[in-house]
Structure formats: structure tokens, C-alpha cells
Amino acid sequence: MQEVSRSGITGELPLNALIADLWWRVDLMNSDILEEEAKAGVFDMRQPTYPLLALNLRERRDNLVSTIYACVSAWNKDPVFGVIGIQSGPRDKGPQWLPSSHGSRGWDAGGGDDW
């Protein structure tokens, strides 16, 4: 049986809406990139006169596309609990909150100062 949220909507509908919105934003970025290229008259990003804004938009777009694929992949791996969001403990116990003395100091995961 699929778990249902308090509103009665399964998690699939909001995730599909989020993914659709993110793809819409990718389309907007593509339009902005083309507009910047047209303004500058330079369409080859290897050219030194290629617009900086277009380069930045390309990078942001590529990062967003990677994020979309990661979300979809996480959803496909476990659609009920997902891999997106906060880290959780065992499924029967929910999230586990530990005192700040556990793990990395200062909430800087990967800082190399774990105990």
C-alpha cells in the first residue's frame, strides 16, 4: 500500500509538478542564453567575446539539469521514502536527532575534523 500524505495526495504528484517546473526553468534559461548570444552576435562559447552572462547561464542550466536527473533517480529508487531531503534513521523509527557532539563539529560535513 502506498503511503499518503495528510492532504491525501501521494508524493508523486508534487514531485511531478516540481520536476515540470524545473524543466520549465531550464527552457527559460535556454531562451535567455540564445538572447544573450544574439545580442553579442557570438554563438560559439569558445570565442573570447562570448557573453559572460551566457556562460554563467549555461553553467546554471547544466547544474539544474543534473539536479533534476538526481531527483528523478532518487524517486525511482525509493518512491515512498525517497532519497531526497533530510537524512533519516531506520524507517520504523524516523529521523534520528543527535546532540551536536556527535559527528563533525560546527555542522561542516566533510571538514575532516570528525572525532
- Does 71 reside within a domain? yes
- Using CA atoms in the order 96, 6, 83, 63, what is the torsion angle rounded to 10 degrees? -120
Could you tell me the residue range of the domain that residue 102 belongs to? 12-107
Confidence band, pLDDT 50/70/90 cuts, at residue 114: very low
- Does 63 reside within a domain? yes
Whether residue 18 is predicted with pLDDT greater than 60 in this model: the reply is yes
- Does 46 reside within a domain? yes
- Does 57 reside within a domain? yes
Compute CA distances 22 → 56, 80, 82, 83, 109, whole Å: 18, 21, 18, 18, 27
- Does 27 reside within a domain? yes
Across the range 98-106, mean pLDDT stands at 46
The tally of domains found in the chain comes to: 1
| Mean per-residue pLDDT of the chain | 74
- Does 50 reside within a domain? yes
Are the beta carbons of 23 and 68 closer than 8 angstroms? Answer: yes
- Does 17 reside within a domain? yes
Name which residue leads in pLDDT, 78 or 15. Answer: 15
Helix axes of 12-40 and 52-77: crossing angle, nearest 10 degrees: 160
- Does 5 reside within a domain? no
